[in-house]
A and B are shown apart, each in its own frame.
Chain A
């Protein structure tokens, strides 16, 4: 499959902060690519350079193999992390406006608006002002605005933030449908679990640099099956102190254990059986969360420029 977008050695500095420090990655057509990283890693800045809000200090953004021109930006649907709509405008007018600034004729998107409003159960809110809508509904309107002009590439910055569980599922299903239609999606998130569920490919960013990139299954496979998921009854806090366990995430009645290289899971199971009532014991590839910690460590970053 060909690349729709390629980011080549892009940098961006704000004052003394180097927000993006030579990032390169590409997005394959028809996939969902997850841009992962902590807050402040440089995700939003990278997306803003792709959407043309910032110019990179150096490096280039290529669209379908060409680094020239900016007209491709009409082919992008962008949902910024800071959601924003004109609060005083009616839903329909707002959507028409958003399509128009992407170069669409108002008349040509009217049927699409009706379809989308129907799909998101907002048909009765058609003529309501944006400020009268609930937050969830505002998010839906914004999402429609992102998709209305039939973009080739859909860029979503933290699409799940601020959504309730119902809407989260709705967005997840929507993204899958879009991919099935052959759209390409680039989404940024700091929620690894979410990326794990949705992304085909991941680009892991830390401190303005790419630390890991590739197909999600391959990435996980490359880390080997050195992770154990246990579910049990009893007090599992001792699991942290077991030999051969490098790291343990222990929650109520469940734990994810990262084993040292060459450790024998069988030994762990024996210890566990002696002290806990085991309900589930599973050998698995590490979760993204684990991989992430593996790659960048556990230190927390201050909230720097995003």
Chain B
């Protein structure tokens, strides 16, 4: 026990005293926050500044592309009914320059100068897109809108423009059938959707994009440390091999003592780091809560005490599962490069639930999510995500935990065997059949 503790202590203090540890501990949260805020910032910014020219060949769609508070000529004429119900569908993040080209059959020609502006670098005059609405848009069946964009992948803008135009064209078509405009509005009325998650206890959580991101961050916090510290263990074992310390270690204690001491030591390092982060998060959270509550978002609606409990349980399970793979990698390889090559495909497999995070979050009770959450290796992360975004049955959770414990026991058994022989092999990396022999021999 003293030996195991000696290894534990050495692992812990040598890691915690490294500059890298201190930098990581304090810098990573800053980076994380940056990564969280930046995309939404860019998104808002990027969309807010979309400037689009609409060349309307029909000349009748102006109302759709102007905001209610800038009434059009037509509406001035028919201003008896209030436009309150008819919210402009034009998002506030889009600036539209409307050009009426009534009856223009050669829109492509007309568009030329605008297209030049599209490609031009001139500040303030730059365009993000040009929409051509052909003159036969209302009458013909096979008419097509044409959108010239700076990027063809900006499908959100395209989608919005198409939807607005179609809405406006449909209104005019309906009006053409003699339906009065109020009726048209009722027919065309669209509903907004509000996502609400209902748990068994009956509490309601508002869902949406914010929830999605918070779950993502939690999932990252759950698995990333395991990968980072798993890599650290692998590096440590290889370092001991290249420093030739291993011979002294193994002549003084059993390989399992060494392995367990190491893994617990590095785990303690991880716990230290996460404790610091949680402390920072609590402090930061207080400010964030203040700030968000002003923005009418309550952080606690996404989180509960249970979430933290689950976090600890599944964090430990994930860590103990992943770390074995890295320990084997370190034991059978002689250089970091070699080890990383060997480990890469396994890392990919372990990361599977991470790659499938989006479908799992959006569909936490789908077959895929349920199978993943009960499977070994994938279980901890997937199950944890399910506990946040859904309300899985208790037996699912229990089964997942048991599956993980069984996996860990099996992995540790294999690791201990391979570790015992691999740790002393300085030669070339063993092949899979050789590894198999090691397992049987040790």
Contacts and interface: CB of A to CB of B under 8 A. Distances in A.
B411 to A, nearest CB: 23
Contact of A98 (B2, B243, B246, B248): B248
Interface in A58-116: 73-74, 76, 78, 80, 82-89, 93, 97-98, 100-103, 105
A88 B251 contact: no
B424 interface: yes
Contact of B6 (A53, A54, A87, A101): A101
Contact of A86 (B6, B243, B250, B253): B243
Given A53-B424, A82-B244, A84-B246, A89 B251 contact: no
Given A83-B244, A85-B243, A87-B243, A53 B250 contact: yes
Contacts of A48: 247, 251
Nearest to A145: B248
A87 B240 CA distance: 10
A83 B10 CA distance: 19
A53, A54, A82: which has the most chain B beta carbons within 10 Å? A53
A76, A87, A101: which has the most chain B beta carbons within 10 Å? A101
A290 B226 CA distance: 60
Contacts of B7: 101
B244, B246, B248: which has the most chain A beta carbons within 10 Å? B248
B252 interface: yes
B250 A103 contact: no
B45 interface: no
B245 interface: yes
Contact of B252 (A73, A82, A83, A89): A73
B407 to A, nearest CB: 29
B3, B245, B251: which has the most chain A beta carbons within 10 Å? B251
Nearest to A50: B251
A88 B252 contact: no
B14 interface: yes
B249 interface: yes
A51 interface: yes
A52 B251 contact: yes
B14 A101 contact: no
A101 B3 contact: yes
Contacts of B6: 97, 100-101
B409 to A, nearest CB: 24
A181 B303 CA distance: 68
A206 B244 CA distance: 26
Contacts of B243: 84-87
Nearest to A101: B252
A106 to B, nearest CB: 9
B424 A101 contact: no
Contacts of B250: 52-53
A98 B244 CA distance: 14
A181 B246 CA distance: 30
A298 B2 CA distance: 49
Contacts of A102: 252
A97 B307 CA distance: 40
B245 A51 contact: no
A116 B251 CA distance: 22
B418 to A, nearest CB: 15
Interface string B123-146: 000000000000000000000000
A87 to B, nearest CB: 6
A85 B245 contact: yes
A84 B243 CA distance: 5
Given A53-B251, A84-B244, A84-B245, A89 B14 contact: yes
Contact of A103 (B2, B245, B247, B249): B2
Contacts of A51: 251
Contacts of A93: 10
Contacts of B248: 78, 80, 84, 98, 101, 145
Interface string B1-24: 011011100100010000000000
B3 A100 contact: yes
A103 B248 CA distance: 13
Contacts of A85: 243, 245
Contacts of A82: 244, 247
Given A53-B424, A86-B14, A88-B14, A101 B244 contact: no
A52 B248 CA distance: 10
Nearest to A87: B243
Contact of A53 (B5, B240, B244, B247): B247
A84 B252 contact: no
A84 B247 contact: yes
A84 B424 CA distance: 13
B397 to A, nearest CB: 40
A76 B248 CA distance: 11
A102 B244 CA distance: 18
A85 B14 CA distance: 14
A84 B252 CA distance: 14
A101 B252 CA distance: 6
Contacts of A78: 247-248, 251
Contacts of A53: 247, 250-251, 424
Contacts of B424: 53-54
Nearest to B18: A88
Contacts of B247: 48, 53, 78, 80, 82, 84
**What are the nearest 7 A-B pairs in CB distance?**
A84-B244, A100-B6, A51-B251, A82-B244, A84-B245, A101-B252, A80-B247
Given A100-B3, A100-B6, 10 more contacts: A52-B251, A53-B424, A80-B247, A84-B240, A85-B245, A86-B10, A97-B6, A97-B10, A103-B3, A105-B2
23 contacts: A52-B250, A53-B250, A54-B424, A73-B251, A73-B252, A74-B252, A76-B251, A78-B248, A80-B244, A80-B248, A83-B244, A84-B245, A84-B246, A84-B247, A85-B243, A85-B245, A86-B243, A88-B14, A97-B6, A100-B2, A100-B6, A101-B3, A101-B252
Interface of B: 2-3, 5-7, 10, 14, 240, 243-253, 424
